[in-house]
Amino acid sequence: MPPSDLLRSAVPPAPSQKETIRRDMLRRAQSASAAYGEDAARQVAEILLPALSLPAGSAVAGYAPLKSEIDPTLLLERLHKANHRIALPVVEGDNVPLSFRLWRPGDKLVAGPFGTRTTSESQIIEPALVLVPLVAFDAKGHRLGRGGGYYDRTLTELRARGSVLAVGLAFDCQRHEDLPVEDHDEALDAVVTERQLYRFSLSPLLAGPASAPSPGGSTARRRTSTAR
């Protein structure tokens, strides 16, 4: 091997812009989770619940949190008490959308891929509201996840079939000024943090007006009816 090729093979590739942001935001989330994670989870529930206008018996997709993610358990328990059906995501394979399977408070969780936990229930339900974990978000509703693309594929599919409300859960310190966006990225309708609810689109399921758009608008896709 020529010396120049040997040198190139020994130098790892530079991290992408997304990966650099991801590392920084994960550090922020880990610090926030350790300092006030339990309080933040309670505040997120108290902020979001009064803003929701879900029809009776609506299906809500939550998640079992990975380390440093906002824990939605209290929020899901309160939605279940309000007679909404709750589901958790299941990874069905590489490069395919998630499915959402019925979950009830107290149900035992089982291990899934990538360190996730999910339900062993077989019943699949289609959610009207998807609570989305994230690594970072910005003022236009763009979301940065962990890099697998599962929620982008899932929201693309759900939005192609009809209206769904996608609400990210985050610590306020995970807000980024302007995230890089790719063609496949799906934007969120709102993000709720321990401080406030950020609205990025109008939805009959979420009370109140959308936040003022940022100059230049959004380049991420947010489909709320049929696919283009």
Please give the pLDDT value at position 116: 83
CATH of domain 14-199: 3.40.50.10420
Between 226 and 212, name the one with better pLDDT.
212
224 pLDDT exceeds 50?
A: no
**Do the Cβ atoms of 127 and 89 come closer than 8 Å?**
no
Domain boundaries, the chain: 14-199
Between 112 and 64, name the one with better pLDDT.
64
Q: Mean of the pLDDT values across residues 204-209?
A: 80
DSSP per-residue codes, 43-88: HHHHHHGGGB-PPTT-EEE--PPPTTSPP-HHHHHHHHHTT-EEEE
Please give the pLDDT value at position 124: 95
Q: Cα(167)–Cα(162) distance, rounded to whole angstroms?
A: 16
In angstroms, the first-to-last Cα distance of the chain is 50
Q: Mean of the pLDDT values across residues 46-73?
A: 96
Please give the pLDDT value at position 44: 98
Please give the pLDDT value at position 119: 87
221 pLDDT exceeds 60?
A: no
E strands, the chain, in order: 59-61, 85-90, 99-103, 109-111, 117-119, 129-133, 136-137, 143-144, 165-169, 190-192, 197-199
214 pLDDT exceeds 60?
A: no
pLDDT in tens, 162-186: 889 999 999 999 999 999 999 899 9
Closest by alpha carbon to 196, among 51, 54, 62, 80?
51
Please give the pLDDT value at position 117: 85
